[in-house]
Amino acid sequence: MSGGALVVRLDGAGDVLLAGPCVRAVRTGHERVAVLAGPQGEQAARLLPGVSQVLVWRCPWVVREPPPVEAGEVHRMVEEIAARSFAEALILTSFHQSPLPMALLLRMAGIGRISAISTDYPGSLLDVRHRLEEDVHEAERGLSLARAAGFALPPGDDGALAVRAPLPPTAHLTGQEPYIAVHPGATADARRWPRERWVDAVKELVRRGHRVVVTGAPDEKELTAHVAGAHGTDLGGRTGLHELAGVLARARVVLAANTGPAHLAAAVGTPIVSLFAPVVPAARWRPWRVPHALLGDQDAPCRASRAVDCPVPGHPCLNGVSDQDAADAAETLVEETGR
């Protein structure tokens, strides 16, 4: 097909990484596949195999702190997309998002074939209106849309998450292997294991004879320094997403909440201890296609609330997980996978 394809995923880094299998499927039908991502997903989009170009837009109906809707900015985005003459587009959304505002902009940009999952009547905004059951993992949800649009993964591709190779060297950051990686941050308070539990988990892992590195974004440096303390190696703010992928790839196991770096760990094939708050369903967001242990009460009162801040006093979904529970799960995964 001429003109290439545009895959739209406008949320965070983890969401974009979960779109990777869909992108690879679309790539089998197009020589050129671009991704339209939000600012938080840009680095992840640049890591996806099969992506030839990344466009970035802070979308007013997707990002958590949305900018105002301004006609000039919307028209600028439409013109930027139109200038690239895409033959078709696939709009990837989570179950609680509508693809139709983006479909309108893509139609205005002259894209002739647009596919999306939509429960709402799309009129002439969509050419392929796909529907599927709700409790489908986000990675499979994207692949399902690709199949509905006529694309399949290439032979030998199992649909796991992936990032571009080679990964950068990281021994200058981590020291020598082996080590366990701990990522205590998360974008939403409701998904965070209490910081003192992270501190205790690092101490417990070190007591059991493991080296521990603690990772985090630049705005999490205070958290990572506190969690690492005198026992772990603090890498807070010292890695971009590509270097973080290298750190996680070489770890024996990764401990993390339901957050982007957990999906990055899955993309590099590292087992994950997932401290998973059930504010969103684990069936849709748990680590994909890698060995993992899911910790946390999945039937807690916050279940499926999509809360950003914990709505239940005492944060019972994760407060019931002890540092010993997390360390036990990590050691079990190390033993089972032989890492």
CA atoms within 13 A on the CB side of 178: 13
226, two tokens: 């506190």
Task: Find tokens 């649909």 and name the residue.
Answer: 159
Residues facing 173 on adjacent strands: none
The DSSP code for 67 is P
Residues near 284 by beta carbon (within 8 Å), at least 6 away in sequence: 94, 95, 135, 136, 137, 138, 141
Phi-psi region of 223 (alpha: psi -120 to 50; beta: other; left: phi over 0): alpha
Phi/psi for 17 (5° steps) reads -60, -35
DSSP result, 71-102: HHHHHHHHHHHHTTT-SEEEE---TT--SHHH
CA distance 263 to 276: 13
147, two tokens: 């199949």
Q: What is the pLDDT along the chain (339 residues), one digit of tens a residue?
A: 458 999 999 999 999 999 999 999 999 999 999 999 999 999 999 999 999 999 999 999 998 889 999 999 999 999 999 999 999 999 999 988 999 999 999 999 999 999 999 999 999 999 999 998 778 999 999 999 999 999 999 999 999 999 999 999 999 999 999 999 999 999 999 999 999 999 999 999 999 999 999 999 999 999 999 999 999 999 999 999 999 999 999 999 999 999 999 999 999 999 999 999 999 999 999 999 999 999 999 999 999 999 999 999 999 999 999 999 999 999 999 999 999
CA distance 276 to 224: 19
* pLDDT given for residue 2 in this prediction: 53
11, two tokens: 């949320």
Reference 297, options 272, 282, 273, 278; nearest CA is 278
- Rounded to 10°, the helix 241-249/260-267 angle is 60
CA distance 23 to 4: 12
Contact between residue 162 and residue 267 where contact means Cβ atoms under 8 Å apart:
yes
Contact between residue 115 and residue 88 where contact means Cβ atoms under 8 Å apart:
yes
The DSSP code for 280 is S
SS3 at position 327: helix
Q: What is the pTM of this model?
A: 0.96
24, two tokens: 């690879």
